[in-house]
């Protein structure tokens, strides 16, 4: 158990540092007017999530434990957007159109609303 937690923590540290490096590099390269760094991290994260999932599930090239460590540790620290995109894709794949739309809309609308709510609440103190 402790060894698995250590691997998840290590993968999380690598994911955090990778996010920082990629986001900063892309943002410097493309300019500050648009969040290009975040876009790059989210797009790369979705691609990597899909690759890891397929390598583990379809090609059996990664064990379930390795998949868990990579997706939870590295990808969880790199970007959670990839998890959101993957879960949405699974709903679409299963023809759960209403749930897919609800997930896409609620995550984005509630996420944005909660950022503004957080701003407002923090100003009360």
For residues 42 and 19, give the distance between their C-alpha atoms in angstroms, rounded to a whole number. Answer: 9
Task: Tell me what pLDDT residue 26 has.
Answer: 96
Which has the higher per-residue pLDDT, 80 or 30? 30
Nearest by Cα to 90 from 49, 35, 48 = 49
Q: What Cα–Cα distance (Å) separates residue 32 from each residue in 24, 26, 28, 74, 103?
A: 10, 10, 7, 26, 30
Per-residue pLDDT band at 61 (split at 50, 70, 90) = confident
Task: Tell me what pLDDT residue 120 has.
Answer: 87
User: Binding site, residues?
Assistant: 76, 79
Is pLDDT above 90 for 59?
no
For residues 25 and 44, give the distance between their C-alpha atoms in angstroms, rounded to a whole number. Answer: 14
Task: Tell me what pLDDT residue 100 has.
Answer: 95
Task: Tell me what pLDDT residue 62 has.
Answer: 86
Across the range 56-78, mean pLDDT stands at 90
* 91 neighbors 103 (Cβ within 8 angstroms): yes
- 17-26, 54-63, 89-98: segment of lowest average pLDDT: 54-63
Give 73's DSSP letter: I
User: Binding site for Na(+), residues?
Assistant: 76, 79
Q: Across all residues in the chain, what is the average pLDDT?
A: 92
Task: Tell me what pLDDT residue 125 has.
Answer: 78
Task: Tell me what pLDDT residue 124 has.
Answer: 87
Per-residue pLDDT band at 77 (split at 50, 70, 90) = very high
Give pTM, 2 decimals: 0.80
Nearest by Cα to 83 from 101, 63, 107 = 107
Task: Tell me what pLDDT residue 115 has.
Answer: 86
For residues 82 and 80, give the distance between their C-alpha atoms in angstroms, rounded to a whole number. Answer: 5
């Amino acid at each position: 158990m402790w060894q698995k937690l250590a691997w998840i923590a290590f993968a999380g540290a690598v994911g955090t540092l990778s996010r920082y490096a990629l986001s900063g590099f892309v943002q410097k390269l493309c300019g500050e007017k648009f969040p290009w760094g975040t876009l790059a991290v989210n797009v790369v994260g979705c691609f990597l999530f899909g690759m890891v999932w397929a390598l583990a599930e379809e090609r059996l090239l990664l064990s379930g434990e390795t998949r868990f460590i990579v997706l939870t540790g590295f990808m969880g620290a790199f970007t959670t957007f990839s998890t959101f995109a993957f879960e949405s894709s699974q709903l679409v794949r299963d023809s759960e159109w209403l749930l897919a739309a609800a997930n896409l809309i609620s995550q984005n609308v509630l996420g944005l609303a909660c950022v503004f709510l957080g701003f407002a609440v923090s100003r009360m103190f």
